[in-house]
Amino acid sequence: MSNEALKRIFKDMRSKIARSVCPDSIMDDLLSKNIISEDDYCRLRQVPVARGRCQDLLLLLYFSPHPQAFVYLRLTLLDEYSWIVDEIDKNIPSLTSQLQQLQPNRSRHGKPIIATSFICINL
């Protein structure tokens, strides 16, 4: 599951997540994994209302350069908010289906053809 796919799902669910999740332990975990910086962590802790902290955290992650920010966010939510992760995971098959419909190359049996390429570098 890619970070971009999860990012789209989190974006669609942002209000439900902001209403339901207390971001403090999530922020601790994301800080320990270097997904958010200490400066971001301190700034987020200054937001007095949990819903506002959660919204600011999601906004920060949407603009994060970290290549797996939403993958880590999903993993972090798994312990305390497994019902949200279940809902996120329910959206993954529909996203996969949409991506398959966009893929123009199909075999004669109607199944997607997946092209891969590898780059080998000798040092």
Q: 38-92: per-residue pLDDT in tens?
A: 999 999 999 999 999 999 999 999 999 999 999 999 999 998 999 999 999 888 7
**Number of Cα atoms under 13 Å in the Cβ half of residue 60:** 21
Full-model pTM: 0.72
- Give the mean model confidence (pLDDT) for residues 20-48: 95
Higher pLDDT, 111 or 74: 74
The CA-based angle 28-46-64, given to 5 degrees, is 55
Is 106 in a helix, a strand, or coil? Answer: strand
pLDDT of residue 91: 84
Which overall architecture, per CATH, does domain 3-102 show? Orthogonal Bundle (1.10)
The answer, yes or no, to whether residue 16 has pLDDT greater than 70, is yes
